[in-house]
Amino acid sequence: MLGRGYTIFNTAIGRCGIVWSSTGVVAVQLPEAREIDTRRRIFAVHPEAREQQPPLNAELAIEGIAGLLQGGDPDFSEVSLDAGGVPGFHRRVYEAACAIPRGETRTYHEIAKALGASGAAHSVAQAIAKNPYMLIVPCHRVLEAGNYADRLSPYGGVISKRRLLALEGAHPVASKTLFEVLLPVAPPRPS
């Protein structure tokens, strides 16, 4: 196979995309509101990719992704990733994310500390936000301080971390309401 290939496939939450090279999976795209938007996002990031029949490695990833999105617990250990364009620190963050058990979460700070870079929570957040291997590398298990889970990844389409965690049985802290953010509770006035 020359260059990169991609395919669009069915899951319980919609039509996802996967991009691969001869080395392994390059990216996973969760569904956008419309399939054409999913394809556009793939083309924007990987304009050289051509629609093809997926090789065995990509098929393993597709089966695992579809299973996970139906509430299963797939094993992605046999899926090869093409990390050629991924910075070394990001790779370490992704390895740490893969070590988080299903149904559990960690904060950016906890991952940074585990990597021996306790002051690098912001760098961990950036790596998680740029994770091209959605679901294979479970970045949805890594949350900001307070365990808020309503953020979307650039590759996440319309699916939030909260929804992915719910599929795994995890229960992150509910996000703050508009009133909690804009109108902090003032202390009671003395009578």
Q: Count Cβ atoms within 10 A of the Cβ of residue 127 and give its class: 0-12 exposed, 13-18 middle, 19 or more buried.
A: buried
Residue 98 designated active-site: no
Backbone φ/ψ region at 14: left (φ over 0), alpha (ψ -120 to 50), beta: left
CA distance linking residue 152 with residue 111, whole number of Å:
19
Tokens of 45: 């990031």
Alpha-helix residue ranges (DSSP H) falling in the chain: 35-45, 56-68, 88-98, 108-114, 121-129, 161-168, 178-182
Out of 86, 96, 139, 167, the active site residue is: 139
Tokens of 91: 């790779």
Catalytic residues: 139
